[in-house]
């Protein structure tokens, strides 16, 4: 029996778990961080919560006799990816990263790529009305720009208190182009701020921004840990697990 641990609650992680769930001789465990209420659960066994850092993950891998480790966390889960790389080396468990492709700028797009959330906040024009889609934990950083107004969308509500220049929209993708057009229009949005998460579930906002001719401040992904092989889809990861 080949035992596989999949880290992450992404759509790619769920697709991989579904591919492997019925494969003879493969036992799949998916790990969810537990930061999102009512997460979409993958097929197979599920572990919810942390491991106690990279050393704790290494111990867990040994104790549960894991043969393959797949880092399918969010492209911006930098700390978890670093922990996975460390635990892989420490426990001697082969590791692969499953990362969906990032977004590419197309005709009619007006993107400003920045290396960090802090730089994104600094780049905002004075008095901007901003559609903010970088996660609830980033709201305080942007709300410090008291000259700007923010429509901040997140899967779960942020911790109170909500700053007076922020309106929170709690919603979960996939989103439609029609819905994103309406948000941009009804809230008189002048700038979109987002992370280069990639994927189709949340791409509609980029189409709406292009059509409305508003700029996009795009936060680039953090670098992957060195030496970790990467695949872009569940099929590639499944072939590696079974290889």
Say if residues 233 and 100 touch (Cβ distance below 8 Å). Answer: yes
pLDDT, tens digit, 9 for 90 and up, residues 39-54: 788 988 999 988 999 9
Say if residues 122 and 138 touch (Cβ distance below 8 Å). Answer: no
Q: What domains appear along the chain, each with residue ranges and CATH number?
A: 2-101+222-242 (3.40.50.720), 111-219 (3.40.50.720)
pLDDT, tens digit, 9 for 90 and up, residues 177-205: 999 999 999 999 999 999 999 988 899 99
pLDDT, tens digit, 9 for 90 and up, residues 212-236: 999 999 999 999 999 999 999 999 9
83 CB burial (10 A radius; 0-12, 13-18, 19+): buried
Is the link from the previous residue into 230 a cis peptide, with omega within 30 of 0?
no
Tokens representing residue 64 in the block: 């549960």
Q: What is the mean pLDDT of the chain?
A: 95
């Amino acid at each position: 029996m080949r035992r596989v641990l999949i880290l992450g609650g992404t759509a790619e992680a769920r697709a991989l778990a579904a591919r492997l769930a019925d494969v003879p001789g493969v036992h799949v465990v998916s790990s969810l961080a537990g930061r999102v209420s009512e997460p979409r659960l993958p097929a197979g066994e599920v572990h919810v919560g942390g491991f106690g850092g990279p050393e704790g993950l290494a111990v867990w891998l040994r104790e549960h006799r894991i043969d393959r480790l797949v880092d399918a966390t969010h492209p911006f889960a930098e700390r978890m990816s670093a922990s996975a790389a460390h635990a892989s080396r420490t426990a001697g468990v082969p590791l692969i990263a499953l990362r969906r492709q990032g977004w590419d700028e197309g005709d009619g797009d007006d993107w400003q790529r920045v290396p960090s959330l802090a730089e994104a906040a600094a780049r905002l024009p004075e008095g901007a009305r901003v559609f903010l889609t970088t996660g609830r934990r980033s709201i305080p950083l942007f709300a410090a720009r008291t000259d700007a107004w923010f429509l901040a969308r997140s899967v779960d509500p942020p911790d109170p208190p909500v700053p007076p220049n922020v309106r929170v929209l709690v919603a979960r993708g996939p989103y439609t182009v029609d819905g994103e057009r309406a948000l941009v229009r009804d809230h008189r949005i002048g700038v979109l701020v987002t992370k280069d998460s990639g994927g189709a579930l949340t791409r509609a906002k980029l189409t709406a921004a292009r059509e409305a001719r508003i700029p996009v401040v795009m936060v680039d992904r953090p670098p992957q840990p060195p030496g970790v092989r990467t695949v872009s889809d569940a099929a590639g990861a499944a072939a590696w697990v079974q290889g």
